[in-house]
Each structure stands twice: as C-alpha cells, then as structure tokens.
Structure 1
Amino acid sequence: MRRPSELLLRFTRAERWVHRTTAALMLICLATAACLYVPPLAELVGRRRLVVTVHVWCGLALPVPLLLGLASRALRADVSRLSRFTDADWAWLRAARTRAAERRAGKFNAGQKLYAQWTLGSMLVILGTGLLMWLTHLAPPAWRTGATFVHDWLAAAIAVVVAGHIRMALRDREARRGMRTGLVDRRWAEREHPEWERSAG
C-alpha cells in the first residue's frame, strides 16, 4: 500500500472526463467510418443510415467535451502547457532522436505536446470537411469533392496515430493509472517528468 506522500495528483476529474469522452467519441467515429468504407464490415453491420447518423452526430460532438472542460482551471492550465514548446521540449526531441536515456520533461513531454496539437488540428479539419460533406448546400460540388478526399485520408491518418497513442499507453502502466485515477507514483514522475515532479512539490 503506497503512502499518500508517494503519490502525485496528475489529472483532475474534469481532465479525465474530457479525455475519456473525447476518446470514446473518436473511437466511435473511427469504428463507424470503417463500417461505411470497408465492404466486409459494411455487409456485416448493415443499417447504413443508422451508422451514418451515429457517425455524423459523434463527429459533431467531438469538440464539446474540450469546450465544456475549459471551465476547469486545471484543464486550462494543461491546455496552456500543451500549446507551447520550451527549451526542455527541444532537448527532449534531440534526446529522443539520439535515443538518449535522460530526457528533460515538464508535465508533458514534447511527444505528448505534438500529439495533442496534431489531434486538435486534425479534429478541426475533420469537422470542417465533414460539415461540407453533410450540409451539401454550403459549397459547390468541387469543394465537396475536395472535402471528401481530405476527410477520408485524414481519417485514415487519425486511425494510425490513435493506434500509436494506444500502443504507447499500453506500454506505460503508470501513465494509464494517472488517467484512470488521477494519481501517479512520485518515482515514475521523477523519472518521466522530472521538471513537473519538482514543481509539484
């Protein structure tokens, strides 16, 4: 049994709720997209109209958890951390490139920041292109064709990146515990996020 002093609060309840809800919506969008575009899955599932409806509404809801979560001071602070690179982040990228063991990192390392920024950007693009495809009166046919192309290929890229994210999470039990309970072991924080561990007290 760990003593309370050995644990650090990494994520509040609001932050965990935003992560879980966004992840659930994203996975539903990817699963329904697969059912729409992969013929064997489309035949297995059927009910195309229902699948399209679920896909559209989950896609429209994607930004909602983050927007609601911004009411949380802790989430706003993390958004600020994720949105800017520091000297430690550039050092982390150099260390990752050379496979150095020691990598300086704050609460989030450079890889996590890049993933978060890419996810937010791709979410906005996928939402915008989806709206052009869904609301056909908003744009001429040429725009809708371009939107369909971007939407489909970006969805494939998102699937690959999300799979990589899940793979990384499966390799780090303590990081998963932090997202599940909000608490992490101080020794893990000292090893993986030393600058944050020191500032966390």
Structure 2
Amino acid sequence: MSRPPETTEEAGSGTRVGRFARAERWVHRTTAALMGVCVLTAACLYVPQLAELVGRRALVVTLHRWTGVALPVPLLAGLASRALRADLGRLNRFGPHDRRWLRAALRRDRRPGSRPAGKFNAGQKIYAAWVAGATLVMLGTGLMMWFTDLVPLVWRTSATFVHDWLALTLGIVLAGHIGMALADPEARRGMRTGSVGRAWAERQHPLWRD
C-alpha cells in the first residue's frame, strides 16, 4: 500500500520540526494505556457475553477501580515538564481563529486557509477539555460507587447513572479520536517520534510558528 502523497513527500524531504517532547509522549502513552484498561474492564462488567467469557468479576472490578484512580497520575507527574505545561496553556486558549476553524468544520469547508490553527486546532482543544472534565466526573462518581458506606443511597444512585452514561459517551468519543488518528499517519508519527514534516505542519497548523 502506498502512503498518501503528502506523507511520502515529507518523509523524503528530511525537513522535520519538533512537536512533542519526550515527557509529553510518555504522558500520552501511559494515559492511553490506563484509559484502555478502564474501557475494557468496564465492557467486561457491563456486557454479559464478555463477563461470561472473562469471569473473575472481583478481579475485573479491582483492576477497573485502581486504573481509574491512577488515570490522572501521568498528567500530574508530567507537569514537571515545561513543554507539557506550555502545551496545556495553548490548549486552554481559545482565540478568533479557533472560531473560524469551527465554522469551517461545521460547513465542511476544506478550502486552503479556511481552517486556521495554531499548534492545536479548535477541535483538539474542545476534545482535550471535554476528556479532562469527563475523566474528573468519572473519577468522582466512581469513588462514590466504591465507598458505599460513606455516601448516601441517593448519591450512589445518581453517581451510578452519571458514571454509566458518561462512560458510554466517553467510549464513543475515544473511538472517534482513534479513528481520526488512524486517518492521519503524520499526526501519529508526531506523537510516536516527537517530530512532524514541515509541510504537514504548515498545511494543518499554519499559525504554529514555534
């Protein structure tokens, strides 16, 4: 199978620009691994066919709980990295060009220059904020479901409802994230090696000048 034209050109040009530091890549990989375990164990707990296939429900529950508690740890540890802190600042800033990007995305406008973006585009910023918020809510509701003796029954019932439906929504959003990553080899290479082709960067993130 041949690579997309832009990937072949970028690989042959030898012109690469740094995108992610080593600490950022490790935070991403560790968080992805923990999230994957959470999703798989949740599926084994809620899908009867998987529950019968795997068995050992108590072990699955324990694994699900502790991976959920550990989920924020990679990001917290990664705050020691100046590069990660700088990128978090970029993700938290939403400017006029991001609104232009969103309008063009909603109109499915793919004309050159219609989707201006810095190091992260508006879609990536919204995704990062949503996943961060969802993870905190999942952690809080999960702790309520875990420590049943410390939480009133009505709180546990509400927490279970929120946890289950948010887990389903989070699974769908993660599947979309993975699908978009699979469709962009150069973006995956950036997360794997830390650098991307300059032509890709200028095309996908024209306002990125770092």
Q: TM-score with structure 1 length normalisation?
A: 0.96
CA–CA separation in structure 2 for the residues paired with 1:67 and 1:183: 24
SS of the aligned residue for 1:194 comes to coil
Q: How does 1:33-182 map to 2 (within 5 A)?
A: 33-101=42-110, 102-182=114-194
Name the amino acid aligned to 2:123.
G
CA deviation profile, 1:20-44 (whole Å, cap 9, x unmatched) = 1111101100000000000000000
CA–CA separation in structure 2 for the residues paired with 1:145 and 1:27: 26
CA–CA separation in structure 2 for the residues paired with 1:36 and 1:100: 42
Residue 138 of structure 1 and its aligned partner are, at CA, apart by 2.3
CA–CA separation in structure 1 for the residues paired with 2:35 and 2:86: 23
- Which sections of structure 2, spanning at least 5 residues, go unmatched? 1-10
Residue 2 of structure 1 and its aligned partner are, at CA, apart by 4.5
CA deviation profile, 1:62-119 (whole Å, cap 9, x unmatched) = 0000000000000001111111201110110011112222310000000000000000
**Amino-acid identity (%):** 68
CA RMSD of aligned residues (A): 1.0
Does 1:11 pair with 2:44? no
CA deviation profile, 1:118-169 (whole Å, cap 9, x unmatched) = 0000000000000000011221011001000100100000000000000000
- More moved, 28-37 vs 137-146: 137-146
Residue 3 of structure 1 and its aligned partner are, at CA, apart by 5.7
- Which sections of structure 1, spanning at least 5 residues, go unmatched? none
Q: Where has structure 1 moved over 3 Å in runs of 4 or more?
A: 1-4
